[in-house]
């Protein structure tokens, strides 16, 4: 893990209440409009929420019948989220790229979510991260990764992202990426200078 990643985790932990309140101020349905229709058609199973933050998305998935493993490396933020968590959500302290502290079961996940996480990974950590995520994706599983376009925040360093980079990494792991919104969507927190692209990743 790089020093910038460690600093980011430390920042989220120190400002845990702020981010807990901020993320919960927007409901998951409105944040994930690009793929919530696909979710309604999916057979519920095991979901992995990487960088689960306030637990908003993990709780949303649990309410829909999913068994969710929520991964959050910022201790204080994870503790807050866990105290307000759905009983079908299991929390663990792990971080990309290795995700070494996941539970023994399940071995693979039918749904993997990285919401507002990818930009925190330096370019050098992305190939091993996607390789690990590919190993965790079930045969018919589906992964959603949101890409943030906007200014850097020095308190929680963000690195440039692109759909093309992610699509190439996916291909090298036997996965196929699809851009769900070629015209980037507006920011759910109403920040004018921030836009988002959601990428769907599947096998084949």
**pLDDT per residue as tens, the chain (204 positions):** 788 888 899 999 999 999 999 999 999 998 998 898 898 888 999 999 999 999 999 999 999 999 999 999 999 999 999 999 999 999 999 999 999 999 999 999 999 999 999 999 999 999 999 999 999 999 999 999 999 999 888 888 899 999 999 999 999 999 999 999 887 878 877 778 899 999 999 998
CA distance 69 to 52: 9
pLDDT of residue 154: 82
Entry pTM? 0.95
pLDDT of residue 37: 87
Q: What is the CA radius of gyration of the chain?
A: 15
User: What CATH number does the domain containing 27 carry?
Assistant: 3.40.50.150
CB 156 within 8 A of CB 119: no
Tell me if residue 201 falls in helix, strand or coil: strand
DSSP code, position 62: H
Q: Which domain holds residue 87?
A: 3-203
Q: Take residue 122 and report the two structure tokens written for it.
A: 């330096």
- The domain total for the chain is 1
């Amino acid at each position: 893990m790089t020093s910038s990643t460690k600093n980011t985790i430390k920042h989220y932990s120190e400002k845990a209440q702020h981010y807990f309140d901020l993320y919960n101020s927007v409901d998951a349905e409105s944040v994930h409009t690009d793929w919530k229709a696909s979710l309604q058609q999916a057979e519920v199973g095991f979901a992995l929420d990487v960088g689960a933050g306030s637990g908003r998305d993990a709780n949303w998935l649990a309410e829909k019948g999913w068994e969710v493993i929520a991964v959050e490396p910022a201790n204080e933020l994870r503790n807050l989220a866990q105290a307000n968590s759905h009983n079908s959500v299991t929390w663990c302290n792990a971080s990309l790229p290795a995700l070494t502290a996941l539970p023994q079961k399940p071995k693979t996940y039918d749904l993997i979510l990285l919401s507002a996480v990818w930009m925190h990974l330096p370019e050098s950590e992305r190939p091993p991260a996607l390789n690990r995520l590919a190993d965790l994706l079930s045969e018919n599983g589906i992964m959603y990764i949101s890409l943030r376009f906007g200014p850097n925040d020095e308190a929680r360093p963000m690195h440039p992202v692109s759909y093309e980079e992610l699509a190439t990494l996916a291909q090298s792991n036997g996965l196929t990426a699809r851009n769900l919104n070629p015209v980037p969507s507006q920011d759910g927190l109403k920040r004018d200078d921030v836009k988002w692209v959601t990428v769907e990743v599947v096998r084949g």
